[in-house]
Structure 1
Amino acid sequence: MNMVPLADAKAHLGDLIAQAEAGETVCITKRGKPVAQLTAVQPRRRPISLAELQAVTDAMPMQSESAGDFVRGMRDGERY
Protein backbone atom coordinates (compact mmCIF):
# COMPACT_ATOMS: atom_id res chain seq x y z
CA MET A 1 0.00 0.00 0.00
CA ASN A 2 1.35 3.39 -1.01
CA MET A 3 0.98 6.08 1.71
CA VAL A 4 0.75 9.63 0.29
CA PRO A 5 0.34 12.92 2.19
CA LEU A 6 -2.73 14.96 1.18
CA ALA A 7 -0.63 17.81 -0.26
CA ASP A 8 1.22 15.38 -2.52
CA ALA A 9 -2.05 13.70 -3.50
CA LYS A 10 -3.46 17.04 -4.66
CA ALA A 11 -0.38 17.66 -6.79
CA HIS A 12 -0.20 14.15 -8.27
CA LEU A 13 -3.80 12.95 -8.40
CA GLY A 14 -3.53 11.74 -12.00
CA ASP A 15 -0.50 9.60 -11.19
CA LEU A 16 -2.20 8.17 -8.08
CA ILE A 17 -5.28 7.24 -10.09
CA ALA A 18 -3.06 5.49 -12.63
CA GLN A 19 -1.48 3.52 -9.77
CA ALA A 20 -4.93 2.54 -8.49
CA GLU A 21 -5.99 1.47 -12.02
CA ALA A 22 -2.88 -0.74 -12.12
CA GLY A 23 -4.11 -2.54 -9.00
CA GLU A 24 -2.15 -0.75 -6.30
CA THR A 25 -3.95 0.62 -3.24
CA VAL A 26 -3.09 4.24 -2.47
CA CYS A 27 -3.71 5.55 1.05
CA ILE A 28 -3.98 9.33 1.44
CA THR A 29 -2.88 10.69 4.81
CA LYS A 30 -3.55 13.92 6.65
CA ARG A 31 -1.08 14.81 9.38
CA GLY A 32 0.27 11.27 9.19
CA LYS A 33 -3.10 9.55 9.71
CA PRO A 34 -4.93 7.66 6.93
CA VAL A 35 -8.05 9.51 5.77
CA ALA A 36 -8.84 8.09 2.31
CA GLN A 37 -8.00 5.17 0.10
CA LEU A 38 -7.87 4.91 -3.70
CA THR A 39 -8.50 1.52 -5.26
CA ALA A 40 -9.54 0.35 -8.70
CA VAL A 41 -13.26 -0.10 -9.26
CA GLN A 42 -14.20 -3.71 -9.96
CA PRO A 43 -16.26 -4.03 -13.15
CA ARG A 44 -19.86 -5.03 -12.62
CA ARG A 45 -20.65 -8.56 -13.64
CA ARG A 46 -23.54 -9.18 -15.96
CA PRO A 47 -26.44 -10.88 -14.15
CA ILE A 48 -27.17 -14.45 -15.17
CA SER A 49 -30.14 -14.70 -17.48
CA LEU A 50 -32.24 -17.67 -16.42
CA ALA A 51 -33.78 -17.85 -19.89
CA GLU A 52 -30.33 -18.12 -21.52
CA LEU A 53 -29.25 -20.75 -18.99
CA GLN A 54 -32.43 -22.73 -19.61
CA ALA A 55 -31.85 -22.56 -23.39
CA VAL A 56 -28.33 -24.02 -22.95
CA THR A 57 -29.42 -26.84 -20.65
CA ASP A 58 -32.48 -27.68 -22.79
CA ALA A 59 -30.14 -28.27 -25.75
CA MET A 60 -28.10 -30.85 -23.80
CA PRO A 61 -29.04 -34.50 -24.21
CA MET A 62 -30.23 -36.38 -21.13
CA GLN A 63 -27.64 -38.75 -19.70
CA SER A 64 -28.39 -42.47 -19.70
CA GLU A 65 -27.02 -43.03 -16.19
CA SER A 66 -27.02 -41.09 -12.94
CA ALA A 67 -24.05 -38.93 -11.99
CA GLY A 68 -23.22 -41.31 -9.13
CA ASP A 69 -23.12 -44.33 -11.43
CA PHE A 70 -21.03 -42.41 -13.94
CA VAL A 71 -18.43 -41.39 -11.32
CA ARG A 72 -18.32 -44.90 -9.84
CA GLY A 73 -17.75 -46.31 -13.32
CA MET A 74 -14.88 -43.90 -13.90
CA ARG A 75 -13.39 -44.67 -10.51
CA ASP A 76 -13.68 -48.44 -10.75
CA GLY A 77 -12.92 -48.74 -14.45
CA GLU A 78 -9.57 -49.03 -16.15
CA ARG A 79 -9.32 -45.30 -16.73
CA TYR A 80 -7.62 -44.73 -13.36
Structure 2
Amino acid sequence: MQFSVHTAKTQLSRLIDAALAGEEVVIAKGSKPVVRLVPVAQSGFRLGMCKGRFGPLPDFLEPEPEDMLEAWEGGA
Protein backbone atom coordinates (compact mmCIF):
# COMPACT_ATOMS: atom_id res chain seq x y z
CA MET A 1 0.00 0.00 0.00
CA GLN A 2 1.35 3.41 -0.93
CA PHE A 3 0.10 6.64 0.65
CA SER A 4 0.83 10.32 0.23
CA VAL A 5 2.41 12.29 3.06
CA HIS A 6 -0.89 14.07 3.67
CA THR A 7 -2.81 10.79 3.98
CA ALA A 8 -0.09 9.39 6.23
CA LYS A 9 -0.42 12.41 8.54
CA THR A 10 -4.17 12.01 8.87
CA GLN A 11 -4.23 8.19 9.02
CA LEU A 12 -1.02 7.42 10.92
CA SER A 13 -2.63 5.19 13.56
CA ARG A 14 -4.31 3.10 10.90
CA LEU A 15 -1.08 2.81 8.90
CA ILE A 16 0.86 1.73 12.00
CA ASP A 17 -1.74 -0.97 12.67
CA ALA A 18 -1.45 -2.14 9.07
CA ALA A 19 2.36 -2.34 9.33
CA LEU A 20 2.08 -4.28 12.60
CA ALA A 21 -0.31 -6.69 10.86
CA GLY A 22 2.39 -7.41 8.27
CA GLU A 23 1.23 -5.20 5.41
CA GLU A 24 3.79 -3.18 3.48
CA VAL A 25 3.12 0.52 4.05
CA VAL A 26 4.99 2.99 1.84
CA ILE A 27 4.75 6.78 2.10
CA ALA A 28 5.42 8.78 -1.03
CA LYS A 29 6.17 12.41 -1.84
CA GLY A 30 4.20 12.97 -4.98
CA SER A 31 4.54 9.70 -6.86
CA LYS A 32 8.04 8.91 -5.52
CA PRO A 33 8.16 6.36 -2.63
CA VAL A 34 10.41 7.70 0.14
CA VAL A 35 9.62 5.86 3.40
CA ARG A 36 8.52 2.37 4.42
CA LEU A 37 6.84 1.69 7.78
CA VAL A 38 8.08 -1.51 9.38
CA PRO A 39 7.51 -2.88 12.89
CA VAL A 40 10.39 -2.74 15.37
CA ALA A 41 11.52 -6.20 16.49
CA GLN A 42 10.53 -6.78 20.10
CA SER A 43 13.06 -8.16 22.56
CA GLY A 44 12.28 -11.27 24.57
CA PHE A 45 14.09 -9.80 27.59
CA ARG A 46 11.98 -9.29 30.70
CA LEU A 47 13.04 -8.08 34.13
CA GLY A 48 12.36 -10.55 36.91
CA MET A 49 12.00 -13.60 34.67
CA CYS A 50 14.07 -15.76 37.07
CA LYS A 51 12.39 -14.46 40.21
CA GLY A 52 11.98 -17.24 42.79
CA ARG A 53 14.03 -19.85 40.88
CA PHE A 54 17.23 -19.64 42.95
CA GLY A 55 15.95 -19.45 46.50
CA PRO A 56 16.77 -16.58 48.83
CA LEU A 57 19.51 -14.26 47.63
CA PRO A 58 21.98 -12.54 49.94
CA ASP A 59 21.27 -9.02 51.08
CA PHE A 60 24.36 -7.17 49.90
CA LEU A 61 23.54 -4.16 52.07
CA GLU A 62 23.46 -6.27 55.26
CA PRO A 63 26.67 -6.04 57.34
CA GLU A 64 28.87 -9.17 57.28
CA PRO A 65 29.33 -11.23 60.47
CA GLU A 66 32.51 -10.48 62.48
CA ASP A 67 34.19 -13.80 61.57
CA MET A 68 33.74 -13.11 57.83
CA LEU A 69 35.18 -9.59 58.23
CA GLU A 70 38.19 -11.01 60.07
CA ALA A 71 38.74 -13.54 57.29
CA TRP A 72 38.67 -10.80 54.65
CA GLU A 73 41.05 -8.67 56.66
CA GLY A 74 43.51 -11.56 57.09
CA GLY A 75 42.80 -12.18 60.77
CA ALA A 76 41.58 -15.80 60.56
Q: TM-score, normalised by structure 1?
A: 0.51
Q: Tell me, what secondary structure is at the counterpart of 1:8?
A: helix
Alignment of 1:30-69 (within 5 A): 30-46=29-45
Write 1 or 2 for the structure with the bigger share of helix. Answer: 1
**Root mean square deviation of aligned Cα:** 1.2
Shift of 1:44: 2.6
Q: How many residues align?
A: 45
Displaced runs of 4 or more, over 6 A: none
TM-score after normalising by structure 2 = 0.53
Show structure 2 runs of 5+ residues with no match: 46-76
Gaps of 5+ in 1: 47-80
Structure 1 vs Structure 2: percent identity of aligned residues? 38
Shift in Å at residue 25 of structure 1?
Answer: 1.7
- Kindly name which structure, 1 or 2, has the bigger radius of gyration based on alpha carbons: 2
